[in-house]
Structure 1
Amino acid sequence: MIDPGFLFEIIPTLLSGLPLTLELAGSSVLLGFVLALLLALAQQGKWPVVVWPIRTFVAIFRGTPLLVQIFLIYYGLGQFRPTLQSVGLWSLFREPYWCAILALTLNTAAYGSEILRGAIRNVPRGLSEAASALGLSRMLALRLVILPLALRQALPAYSNEIILMVKGTSLASIITLTEVTGIAQELISQTYRAMEVFIAAGAIYLALNFLIVWALSLLEARLSHYRVRA
Structure 2
Amino acid sequence: MEQQPQQPTGARVLVVDDDPTVAEVVSGYLDRAGYVVDRAGDGPDALARAAAHRPDLVVLDLMLPGMDGLEVCRRMRDDGPVPVIMLTARGDEDDRVLGLEVGADDYVTKPFSPRELVLRVGSVLRRTRPAQSSGPLRAAGLTVDPAARRAAKHGTELALTVREFDLLVFLLRHPGRTFGREELMREVWGWDFGDQSTVTVHVRRLRGKVEDDPARPRLIQTVWGVGYRFDDTVPVAGE
The normalised TM-score by structure 1 is 0.25
The normalised TM-score by structure 2 is 0.25
Decide which structure has the larger Cα Rg and report it.
1
More strand by share: 2
